[in-house]
Amino acid sequence: MDYLQIQGPTKLSGTVTISGAKNAALPLITLTLLAHNPLKITNMPEVVDIKTLLKLLQNLGASCSLENHVLQVDTSTVNHTMANYDIVKTMRASILVLGPLLARFGHCEVSLPGGCAIGQRPIDLHLKALEQMGAEITIHAGYVHAVAPKGLQGAHIIFDKITVTGTANIVMAAALAHGKTILTNCAREPEVVQLCEILRDSGIDITGIGTSELTIIGTGGKTIDMVDFEVIPDRIEAGTYLCAGAITNSTITLENVRADHLDAVTGKLEQMGCTFDITENTMTIHPAAQLKHVNIITQEYPAFPTDMQAQFLALATLASGTSIIEERLFENRFMHVSELQRLGADIMLNGHTATVIGGTPLFGADVMATDLRASSALVLAAMAAEGTTNVHRIYHLDRGYENLEQKLQALGATIVRLKE
């Protein structure tokens, strides 16, 4: 098993190119199940989660090739509608094949999903919405069996709570349904917005993009002549590198980045004393002379993203004063706290709230990654710590960060990948 060895404290400088967004690319790959034509998708991140989902598509009968961040995919040959446990167990996003497969074929079997251990992320909202659209759903032997004997029908669906994958799944289902579907209380994340924009550009009548209510007129079961597209930049990877500049007291520049997707993140960094130079597709962070404490509550977009909570918790360990970080989206997303404490961080945990006493020195130690974003928080803290830190179980990192150690090495970090 691989691990990362990091020598700190370190100083960074230079430019880093941000990859395509994993969280946008995953639903966009399943979106291709609605197309009857071959597609070319550019700026595709080459990370483990993407390769896992492409393997699932190939198992369904699609042809895919990913090279130099360009994905060529043809789903016109799909002839299976069963998403097997062997693949789905490793990644929750596999559930995103449910809506497209059911809408296109009228039936499918999808294993109940697995993924990061950051808390319960049930799919009941997906299933309830599909039932409102006329699907008959049973769960048997760990599989969701879905049938729509008359095809999916348009409906007015009100999500009980905001769900990113639920919104994406039902938008895709609605695109091929019969009649009009209205979705209320939708997720507004940039990743959902891009999915909707591609459907609109491919001829689907969809209005309300970027708002919490979407109206979609379906094709009545006909597949779509879909346009080629480019995946948006990864706002979470970008936010992580901004935190790398802040935690190492370094000026660095990000290329291929959408600053408008990062307002909540840059707003908190500005509160901590950092400043920015921003152009159309670059951001340069200038660190604070002394990081100030900050209070954060994670919520749905456009509020502060849960996927940046761990990185800011690491950053708060260096700030002056006491920071309060409240996690409102997942009930088990503070597993990195005990690992940061191993480095010397002074953090008190009470339910969904972490209190960070800043300014305590960090020292290198052996730590263990517990989920994708926690992994990056440990890397950030290690770059600020005195001495050698070994970050174990980095297969979590490889699921969502492309060439992390190479990018950090290019910025000047002393970081190497080693075998246990």
Output the CA–CA distances (angstroms, integers) from residue 190 to 22, 24, 199, 379, in the order listed: 12, 8, 14, 26
Determine the Cα–Cα distance for residues 133 and 98; give it in Å rounded to an integer: 13
Determine the Cα–Cα distance for residues 44 and 343; give it in Å rounded to an integer: 35
- The secondary structure of the chain in percent helix, strand, coil, rounded to multiples of 5, reads 35, 30, 35
* CA dihedral angle for residue 87, residue 88, residue 90, residue 96, rounded to 10 degrees: 130
State the pairing for strand pair 213-217/205-207. Answer: antiparallel
- φ, ψ for residue 324, nearest 5 deg: -115, 125
Q: Is 116 a catalytic residue?
A: yes
> Annotated catalytic residue: which of 116, 196, 243, 274?
116
At 34 the three-state DSSP class reads helix
Q: What tokens does 348 get?
A: 């008190």
Determine the Cα–Cα distance for residues 102 and 172; give it in Å rounded to an integer: 10
Q: What tokens does 77 get?
A: 């040959």
Any bridge partners for residue 322, and if so which?
357
Output the CA–CA distances (angstroms, integers) from residue 403 to 337, 398, 407, 416, in the order listed: 25, 8, 6, 11
At 95 the three-state DSSP class reads helix
Contact 329, 300 (CB under 8 A): yes
Alpha helices in 214-262 (DSSP H): 235-247
Determine the Cα–Cα distance for residues 51 and 354; give it in Å rounded to an integer: 35
CB burial string 364-391: b at 16+ within 10 A, e below: bbebbbbbbbbbbbbbbbbbbbeeebbb
Which residues are annotated as catalytic?
A: 116
